[in-house]
Amino acid sequence: MIYDECETKIGMLRFVFDEKNGVLQRIVLTNGHWASLCTGCTMKQSRDAGETVREQMNEYLNGQRQQFDIGFELNGTPFQRKAWQALQEIPYGKTESYSAIAKAIGCPKAVRAVGHANAVNPLPIIIPCHRVIGKNNKLTGYAGGMKMKSELLGIEGAMV
């Protein structure tokens, strides 16, 4: 695996790429997840691999980009893939509830499963799980923490 990292105004972000095809596979928001990700594998840093991701991420965080144009590869269950696809359909600056996502993918009772799919989203920010909030319009958990979620929604001008 190849990785790159970027210090941003919301904290350190690490980008993990497939070594064979150079495709983005994961964004790690916090140091705590990094150790478990690297267990049993060889990681090599490459500034070249992450150049486009770093540029587009900084443009997004500075309010200059609303969509990412980055190739990526997702590994997950069919349900997770459906949930992640629904996340990608939430417009910039808007939010949806977990129950709305569950309904959108045809599984209205799977609210907790949607929450779990968000929790294991391998590409946070690019697949915007930060745009999912509680049914009562309150912020709920986020892998990068509530402060980061609030900052991301603030960048987008989302009303919460």
Q: Cite the active site residues.
A: 129
By the 8 A CB rule, do 18 and 122 touch? no
The distance from CA 88 to its chain's CA centroid, rounded to whole angstroms, is 10
Q: Which of 79, 73, 100, 78 lies closest to 89 in space, CA to CA?
A: 100
Query: Residue type at 120?
Result: V
By the 8 A CB rule, do 11 and 30 touch? yes
Q: Burial-class residue 112 by CB neighbours within 10 Å (0-12, 13-18, 19+).
A: exposed
